[in-house]
Structure 1
Amino acid sequence: MPEKFQNKYRIPSARLQNWDYGANGAYFITICTKEMKHFFGEIGNEKMNLNAVGALAEEYWVEIIKHFPYVELGNFQIMPNHMHGILIINKSGEFVETQLIESLQPHQEIGGFAGENNPMLSENISRIIRWYKGRCTFEMRKINESFEWHSRFHDHIIRNSDSFERIQNYIEENPSKWEDDKFFKK
């Protein structure tokens, strides 16, 4: 029987156990809308035609690098009911300086049930996606108040250059192969 948290059943994590999702590397991310609803626009002539909500999904994905300076973006694609993107974590250079400055700040108690394990205190994929989904949701609901993301996201650690190239191509070609996509739903 699955374990419970706060008296609710928990679904086991799909994340790779013992992997630091804040480690330098490339990550293939897929985020779906709730119930695979078409919130972002439609495919026509093998091209994604973004609506206003889809344009926000694209805008805030590009904005990730402004909020997380240790992140670079690979290819990304907004689809009718999901989005794919590659996030590249590279924590060299200014990151060390940021840590030093933060260490000079007065110590504050960390609240909440998670304490120091709060994912919003870590520089990792979960924090980036949580920011992205939250920012998008806030703005998208001004246009479509029923907008919702699926509660989770898919990730894949890209381990070599062949895999990176294959995934980059998959993302780029996704609109032209929409009807064969595993996320396809009319």
Structure 2
Amino acid sequence: MDGLPKRKSNRLPQFDYGTVGAYFITICSRDKAKVFGRVVGGGVLDAPRTLPSPHGKIVIAQIESMTNFYPGLQIEKFVLMPNHIHLIVAVTQSPTGASRTPPPTTVRANQSIPAFVSTLKRMTNRAADTQLWQRGYYDHIIRDQLDYDTIWRYIDENPAKWHLDRFYIPEGEKHP
């Protein structure tokens, strides 16, 4: 064990990811496999969008139910792509401002971004009966309204720009 390299955290050191604010999150599928669906559309009357696969439908359903587990978080925007998801998640209630009454057993006490991502991955893996996600995820603390608006547009436009996306893999090819 001593000879193994130490995995570096992507999180901002000393930052409390339970702090009220908005966060941009990207989570990739395991080996960047296109397991969540495919981008369709692109015509004048048919805007590009992701047609979800069965695994993609599981991810969407789980994202939409996450506020049942994390009432202090709000998913403000998300897009499912063939091999990743982007989300804007807002922490709307700081754990320090929470009631002294213990939460019901169905509610998570830790209303933080890492806890949210961990639960999302665990529950979708369980529902799909397979390992869907790569280890780790990308996060960005949204700093101001301009940053928020830029990320919102990026999420909106992601299916139309799929072929330019850094996670894009042409049909029939595997990611290096």
TM-score class, shorter-chain normalisation, is 0.7 to 0.9
| Aligned AA (1:139) | A
- 1: CA distance, partners of 2:79 / 2:138: 15
Q: 2:66 aligns with which of 54, 64, 84?
A: 64
Give the Cα–Cα distance (whole angstroms) in 2 for the partners of residues 157 and 148 of structure 1: 25
| Aligned CA distance change for structure 1 residues 17 and 92 (closer, same or farther; 3 Å) | closer
Aligned to 1:134: 122
Provide the rounded CA distance (Å) in 2 between the counterparts of 1:7 and 1:139: 36
1:3-152 alignment, distance < 5 Å: 8-45=4-41, 46-91=48-93, 96-97=98-99, 100-102=100-102, 122-141=110-129, 145=130, 147-152=131-136
Instruction: Output the CA distance in 2 between the equivalents of 1:73 and 1:88.
Output: 6
Structure having the higher Rg: 1
Normalised by the length of structure 1, the TM-score is 0.79
What 5-or-longer segments of structure 1 have no aligned partner?
104-119
TM-score (norm 2): 0.83
Is the aligned partner of 1:162 residue 2:146?
Answer: yes
- What percent of counterpart residues are identical? 28
Shift of 1:121: 6.2
May I ask how many residue pairs the two structures share in their alignment?
160
CA shift for structure 1 position 102: 2.7
1:57 & 1:76 partners in 2: Cα distance? 11
1:90 Cα deviation (Å)? 1.0
Larger helix share, 1 or 2: 1
Q: Quick check: 1:184 aligned with 2:171? A: no
Q: 1:7 to 1:61 in 2, by over 3 A?
A: farther
Other structure's SS at 1:175 match:
coil
**Do the aligned partners of 1:74 and 1:168 also contact (CA within 8 Å) in 2?**
no
Show structure 1 runs of 4+ deviating over 3 A. Answer: none
The alignment yields a C-alpha RMSD, in angstroms, of 2.3
Q: Structure 2: where are the runs of 5+ without partners?
A: 42-47, 171-176
